Structure 1
Amino acid sequence: MAGRQGTGPTARVAVIGALLALAGLQVPRAAAAAAEPASACVAGTGPYQRELEHYLGRPVDGVQSTADCHAVRAFQRANGVPAAHGYPGLATYRTMLVVTARPDPNAAGDCPVREHRVTCVDMDRQLLWVQKGDSVVLPPVPIRTGRDSQETRPGWHEVYQRNKDHVSTLYGTPMPYAQFFDGGQALHGAPGSLYGGGGSAGCVNLTEPDAKRLWDLLAEGDAVYVWGTKPGTED
C-alpha cells in the first residue's frame, strides 16, 4: 500500500510554491521559508551575507547562522539558483537584484521613456529589460557587460545587425542570438555562467534562453540605451 501523501502546513506550502513556480512567479519569502525542509544546512558566511540577510528579513550581522542558511537556501530553490546550498554568493545576490527589480525596474528613471521600444542595459545592477512607454515588455534579466579595458560603451545605440547563429570572428566562440548595437558589441547568449570571468569583451551577455526571448522581441532599428558602471571596473 502506498504511503499517504503529507497534508500538513509544510506540505501545503510546498504545493503552493510549486504552483507559483509553474506560473513563473517568485515564491513569497514566508512561504519559501515554511517549505524549506529541515535537512542540514551548513554553508558558511558568504560575500553577500548582509545583503541577503537584509532582503530576507534576517538579523543583519554579516555572519551566517543555521537559520540564515535555511532562508538563503529557500530563496535559491524558489528562484532557480544553481547549487542551492544556502551560501550567499554572487549568483544568489544577482538573482536577488533581478527579483527586487521586477515590480519596477526603472523606478530610478535611469532609462529614458520613449513611445517606441527601448532595451535598457543597467551596468550598475547588471540587469537588462525592455520597455515601451511606461510598460515593461521584457522583465529584468541578469547580464554580464564588459570588463576593464573592454567596457560596454554607454549611451544611445540601435540594433543594426542580427545573426541567430553568429560565431565571433575575433575569439571563435559562439554568440547565439547576436544583435549588434555598436561597433561589434552585441546583445547575445553566452553558454555557461554569467557570474564568472570578470566580464565580457564588451558585449552584453545573457543566458541563452533570455537571449532567445530578446531575439524574438527585437528587430533591426530598435533602440538600446546603456548606462552605469559594471561593479569591479574603473569609472
Structure 2
Amino acid sequence: MGDIHRRSAVVLGVASLVAPLTLALGATPAQAASCTTSAGPYQKKVEKFLGRPADGKQSSADCKAIRAFQAKHGITPDIGYAGPVTWGVMDLMNKQKAVGKNPNKSGKCPTNKGRIACVDLTLQLSWIQDGKKLVHGPVPVRTGRDGYETRTGLKKIYWRNIDHVSTIYDVPMPYSQFFDGGQAFHSVGVSMWNPPGSHGCVNMTKAAAKKYWSLLKNGDDVYVYGRKPGT
C-alpha cells in the first residue's frame, strides 16, 4: 500500500506553478504582495475572458478582476499579472466549454465496453458513458503533474474506499476509486485548476467524486488518454 499512498497523495495548497505553463512574473519581489501595474503578455485575452474592456492596458479594476480569478483557482502569485499560467487556465476553460455535452466526439474513449469512465488528459475532462450514451459529465479534473503523470491506457477499478486517508501524508482522499497502481478518482478541496496538479490521481470536486462513486463499481473500466499540457 506504500505505492498507493505515495502515488495517491494530493498536496493541498501547493504554491508552485502549474506544469502546463511557466509564469513570467513581470513584477519585482517588492510588488509580490500587492497589485502589479504591469500589463502581461496575455492582457487583452485575459481582459476579454473576464468581460473587461480589452484594451491591453492594465488598470486597477483589471488587476482586481485578475487577482480574484487567480485567488479562486489557486494561481500564484496572485498579483493580477496576465501571464501564461492565468491565460492557460482560461484557455483550457474555453476549450472545455466548447466540448459541451459531446466529450467523446473523436471516439477515442471506447464505446464497446459498456459503462466506462473516460479521462481526457489533454482537456482535463472526465465523463462516464455507456456505449455511445453519455451517462454523466463531462466534469473538469486535476490530473498528475510533470513527473507524476496519470498513466494512460485501459484500466479497471479494483478498490474503493469512501473515507480513504493517506497514512503517509495524512491527506484525506474521500470517495477514492483506485484504477491503476495507486492512481484513483477522489475528491479534493481545491480548485480543479490549482497548480501544479496531483501525484497521479484524478482529482475531482466533491460533487463529481460523489456522483462517480454512485455510478461506478469494482471491475468497471477506466480509459485514460491524451497528454496534460506541460507534462
Same fold (TM over 0.5): yes
**CA spacing shift, 1:114–1:189, aligned 2, 3 Å:** same
Kindly report the root-mean-square deviation, in angstroms, between the aligned alpha carbons of the 2 structures.
3.6
The one-character-per-residue Cα deviations of 1:33-61 (angstroms, maximum 9, x if unpaired) are xxxxxxxxxxx6675954995x89x99x9
If you compute each CA radius of gyration, which structure gives the higher value, 1 or 2?
1
Residue 51 and residue 112 in structure 1: after superposition, are their counterparts in 2 closer, same or farther (change >3 A)?
Answer: farther
Tell me the TM-score normalized by structure 1.
0.63
**Cα gap change, 1:182/1:99 in structure 2, threshold over 3 Å: closer, same or farther?**
same
Q: How many residues align?
A: 179
Q: Which structure 1 residue ranges, 4+ long, deviate > 3 Å from structure 2?
A: 44-53, 61-66, 87-95
Equivalent position of 2:196 in the other structure:
198
Name 1:165's counterpart in structure 2: 163
| 2: CA distance, partners of 1:130 / 1:46 | 37
Q: Which residue of 2 aligns with 1:110?
A: 108
The answer on whether the counterparts of 2:43 and 2:56 sit within 8 Å (CA) in structure 1 is: no
Deviations 1:156-209, CA, capped at 9 Å, x for gaps: 001111111100133220101000001111000011222223111111101111
Instruction: Structure 2: state its 5+ residue gaps.
Output: 1-38, 75-79
1:165 and 1:111 map into 2 onto residues whose CA distance is 29
Q: Which has the higher contact order (CA 8 A, sep 6+)?
A: 2
User: Quick one: distance in 2 between partners of 1:46 and 1:143?
Assistant: 27
Aligned residue for 1:4?
none
TM-score, normalised by the number of residues in structure 2: 0.64
- Which residue of structure 2 lines up, in the alignment, with residue 120 of structure 1? 118
The answer on whether the counterparts of 1:155 and 1:227 sit within 8 Å (CA) in structure 2 is yes
Matches within 5 A, 1:186-225: 186-225=184-223
Secondary structure of 2:189's counterpart equals coil
Gaps of 5+ in 1: 1-43
Deviations 1:9-41 (A, max 9, x none): xxxxxxxxxxxxxxxxxxxxxxxxxxxxxxxxx
2:131 aligns with: 133
Contact 1:102 1:139 in 2 (8 A): no
User: C-alpha distance in 1, partners of 2:105/2:179?
Assistant: 25
- Superposition deviation, residue 94 in structure 1: 3.7
Q: 1:172 to 1:96 in 2, by over 3 A?
A: same
Equivalent residue in structure 2 for 1:143, among 134, 141, 144: 141
Secondary structure of the corresponding residue to residue 141 of structure 1 = strand
Q: CA 1:100 to 1:49, structure 2 compared with 1: closer, same or farther past 3 Å?
A: farther
Q: CA deviation at 1:216?
A: 1.0
